[in-house]
């Protein structure tokens, strides 16, 4: 089967034109039209085998995650997705793998009304690069450098579950776990949910935001560095899933939840006057957001436990080149 035939068979589901797409998959380049009075937001991520996923990972999850990590970046900017391009490097043609990979990819794309409008297919080590283009209206955007003194710090969802999933896959940690709990942790790693459900609301009034891909502490530090601020974090407020509570009871240090990475939750700051507004909205929507600390003067992060400073973990997160 030729390159063009593979593209046509597995990656042409969004070939037809629509309101924002004049030319899609099949030509030398896509021709698209952004919404009126909008600014484009562009992000890209590469996922490599044995770095971001293992060869035996379900291809549906690889397809999902390769798009989800990009959508998470858009969520951190307060942007809405429009289009994506895919560059796929394959060592060989496996039709079952391609079908399942494209199913996972397009299922998430369709969920967010995103159109895959082009890309490239080459032979080589398994690698997936996706570029996503979204938009923001007028000047509504979330930036890392915009947190303000006395802001409350919030996170979405739960922390640390994905990192534990990776440890379980690598057999780096052994606990008494129900099969359902083990599957939960691994799925949190392999099938993250981009928090566009949160960003589309908070973009109207949140100050700064970042997605937690490398670990809560290291990503928080990135906001603080760019904003020239410090933070106090209350360890007792860190949101913990029911599945994780059982692990912590088996002597798993809760500080591990702050350093593991792969959560793809949102960390953001708001003015204290917006606390009631925010929590009322997300309670109504049954979406978990948790206040975990505040922005203060100074440098770095102070971690509090029972209102007293406690040591930070020696490693604050993941870095590809550290």
C-alpha 92/C-alpha 97 separation (Å) is: 10
Q: So what's the pLDDT on residue 322?
A: 58
Residues 6+ apart with CB under 8 A from 83: 20, 21, 30, 32, 114, 115, 116, 117, 132, 133
C-alpha 301/C-alpha 288 separation (Å) is: 24
pLDDT band at 19, cuts 50/70/90? confident
pLDDT band at 221, cuts 50/70/90? very high
Cα R_g (the chain), whole angstroms: 20
On the question of pLDDT at 321 being above 60, the answer is no
C-alpha 92/C-alpha 254 separation (Å) is: 43
User: In the predicted model, what is the mean pLDDT of residues 127-133?
Assistant: 97
User: In the predicted model, what is the mean pLDDT of residues 306-310?
Assistant: 93
Q: Which residue has the tokens 């601020």?
A: 229
Distance of CA 91 to the CA centre of its chain: 27
pLDDT > 70 in the chain, percent? 97
Decide if 68 contacts 108 (C-beta within 8 A): yes
Residues 6+ apart with CB under 8 A from 180: none
On the question of pLDDT at 23 being above 90, the answer is no
Lowest model confidence (mean pLDDT) among 26-35, 93-102, 264-273: 26-35
Q: So what's the pLDDT on residue 17?
A: 67
pLDDT band at 320, cuts 50/70/90? low
Average pLDDT, the chain: 92
Lowest model confidence (mean pLDDT) among 21-35, 64-78, 90-104, 266-280: 21-35
Q: Which residue has the tokens 């979330």?
A: 142
Q: Which two tokens stand for residue 127?
A: 């690698």
pLDDT > 90 in the chain, percent? 77
pLDDT tens, residue by residue, 155-190: 999 999 999 999 999 988 888 899 999 999 999 999
C-alpha 230/C-alpha 149 separation (Å) is: 9
Give the bridge partners for 46, in sequence order.
129
On the question of pLDDT at 78 being above 70, the answer is yes
pLDDT band at 301, cuts 50/70/90? very high
In the chain, what are the domains? 3-137 (3.30.1330.10), 144-310 (3.90.650.10)
């Amino acid at each position: 089967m030729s390159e063009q035939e593979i593209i046509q068979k597995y990656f042409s589901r969004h070939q037809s034109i629509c309101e924002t797409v004049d030319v899609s998959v099949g030509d030398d380049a896509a021709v698209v039209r952004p919404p009126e009075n909008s600014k484009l937001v562009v992000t890209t991520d590469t996922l490599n085998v044995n770095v971001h996923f293992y060869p035996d990972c379900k291809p549906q999850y690889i397809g999902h995650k390769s798009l989800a990590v990009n959508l998470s970046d858009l969520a951190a900017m307060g942007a809405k997705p429009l289009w994506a391009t895919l560059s796929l490097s394959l060592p060989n043609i496996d039709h079952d793998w391609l079908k399942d990979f494209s199913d996972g990819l397009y299922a998430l794309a369709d969920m967010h009304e995103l159109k895959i409008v082009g890309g490239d297919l080459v032979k080589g080590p398994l690698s997936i690069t996706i570029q996503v283009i979204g938009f923001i209206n007028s000047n509504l955007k979330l930036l890392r450098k915009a947190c303000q003194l006395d802001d409350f710090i919030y996170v979405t969802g739960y922390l640390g579950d994905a990192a534990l999933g990776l440890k379980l896959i690598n057999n780096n940690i052994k606990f008494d776990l129900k099969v359902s709990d083990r599957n939960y942790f691994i799925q949190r790693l392999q099938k993250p949910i981009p928090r566009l459900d949160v960003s589309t609301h908070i973009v109207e009034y949140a100050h700064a935001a970042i997605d937690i891909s490398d670990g809560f502490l290291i990503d928080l530090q990135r906001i603080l560095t760019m904003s020239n601020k410090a933070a106090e974090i209350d360890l007792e407020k860190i949101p913990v899933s029911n599945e994780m509570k059982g692990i912590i009871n088996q002597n798993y240090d809760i500080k591990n939840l702050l350093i593991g990475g792969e959560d793809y939750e949102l960390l953001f700051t708001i003015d204290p006057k917006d606390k009631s507004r925010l929590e009322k909205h997300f309670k109504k929507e049954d979406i978990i957001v948790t206040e975990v600390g505040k922005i203060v003067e100074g440098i770095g992060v102070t971690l509090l436990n029972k209102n007293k400073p406690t040591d930070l973990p020696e490693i604050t997160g993941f870095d590809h080149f550290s």
